[in-house]
């Protein structure tokens, strides 16, 4: 039996457990004789993750949930294989994620990005239960609250357990956020609202989908919010922006003579 390397009581993160990067963070939450996984990552790491779980002395038949934070391929490619290995577990995610996974939507999930030569296998899978804002997941005596935190993608969820928030791709320790891309269904205004909610909560620790856990640093959150607010008004972000003030300025200037000295 392997020694359990808990980050917090009832929480094991598999990258930390095996002491190497696996892709996204894979969180195992446990209480009494029940346990669940938040995200599973790529297909080629699933068997190793489940074998490690077995060596940690968690009965595979006691896995209650396989949870999807959102439908990005780096989070869910291995979900079908995980369900084969853990047939008693219920696959769970937001309705929008469920639609993308059942349809095998290669664009929305980032499985296919032709401009960058990215083409990743995406096994279709039907989620057995959908959850959204206000839903609850229970493990033994633990209750985990579901937050709907759109922005990175429409169907992204975060999960609160006491003073911990499993925060998905909302924000990382360096202040970066999950990709903003119109083809991915990103919405900067909604992203800001999700970050404001995290900033204003009494959550103490954020456990993101990539990188290390970190404290809920309000100054860091505010800096990121301020940056995203600027993105809303920049042509750099195309249809994800809400406007481009330069064009309004130009329209006002069109009625005036052009002076090269002022350009």
What local confidence, expressed as pLDDT, does residue 231 receive?
Answer: 96
What local confidence, expressed as pLDDT, does residue 167 receive?
Answer: 98
Round the average pLDDT of the chain to a whole number and report it. 95
Taking the C-alpha atoms of residue 187 and residue 179, their distance in angstroms, rounded to an integer, is: 11
Tell whether the torsion through CA atoms of 159, 36, 154 and 211 is positive or negative: positive
* Average pLDDT value for residue range 189-212: 97
**Closest C-alpha to 207, from 150, 141, 161, 176:** 161
Taking the C-alpha atoms of residue 188 and residue 193, their distance in angstroms, rounded to an integer, is: 9
Q: How confident is the model at residue 168 (pLDDT cuts 50, 70, 90)?
A: very high
What local confidence, expressed as pLDDT, does residue 262 receive?
Answer: 62
**Closest C-alpha to 161, from 32, 56, 8, 6:** 8
Q: What are the pLDDT digits (tens) for 142-160?
A: 999 999 999 999 999 999 9
* 110 close to 72: Cβ distance less than 8 angstroms: yes
Q: How confident is the model at residue 115 (pLDDT cuts 50, 70, 90)?
A: confident
Q: What are the pLDDT digits (tens) for 214-259?
A: 999 999 999 999 999 999 999 999 889 999 999 899 889 888 888 8
* Average pLDDT value for residue range 35-39: 98
Q: How confident is the model at residue 183 (pLDDT cuts 50, 70, 90)?
A: confident
Question: Cα 17–147–239 angle (5° rounding)?
Answer: 100
What local confidence, expressed as pLDDT, does residue 64 receive?
Answer: 98
Taking the C-alpha atoms of residue 230 and residue 213, their distance in angstroms, rounded to an integer, is: 27
Q: Which domains does the chain have, with CATH numbers?
A: 6-255 (3.60.15.10)
């Amino acid at each position: 039996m392997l020694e359990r390397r808990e980050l917090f009581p009832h929480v094991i993160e598999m990258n930390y457990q095996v002491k190497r990067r696996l892709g996204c963070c894979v969180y195992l939450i446990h209480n009494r004789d029940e346990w669940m996984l938040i995200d599973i990552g790529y297909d080629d790491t699933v068997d190793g993750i489940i074998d490690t779980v077995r060596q940690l002395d968690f009965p595979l038949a006691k896995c209650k949930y396989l949870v999807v934070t959102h439908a990005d391929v780096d989070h869910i490619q291995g979900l079908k294989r995980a369900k084969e290995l853990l047939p008693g577990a219920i696959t769970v995610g937001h309705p929008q994620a469920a639609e993308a996974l059942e349809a095998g939507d290669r664009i929305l999930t980032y499985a296919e990005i032709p401009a960058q030569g990215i083409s990743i296998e995406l096994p279709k899978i039907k989620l057995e239960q959908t959850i959204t804002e206000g839903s609850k997941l229970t493990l033994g005596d633990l209750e985990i609250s579901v937050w709907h935190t759109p922005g990175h993608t429409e169907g992204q969820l975060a999960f609160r357990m006491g003073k911990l928030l499993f925060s998905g791709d909302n924000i990382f320790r360096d202040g970066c956020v999950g990709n903003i891309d119109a083809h991915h269904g990103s919405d900067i205004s909604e992203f800001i609202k999700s970050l404001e909610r995290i900033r204003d909560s009494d959550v103490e620790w954020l456990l993101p989908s990539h990188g290390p856990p970190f404290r809920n640093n309000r100054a860091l959150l505010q800096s990121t919010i301020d940056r995203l607010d600027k993105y809303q008004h920049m042509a750099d972000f195309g249809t994800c922006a809400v406007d481009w003030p330069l064009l309004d300025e130009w329209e006002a200037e069109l009625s005036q003579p052009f002076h090269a000295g002022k350009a």
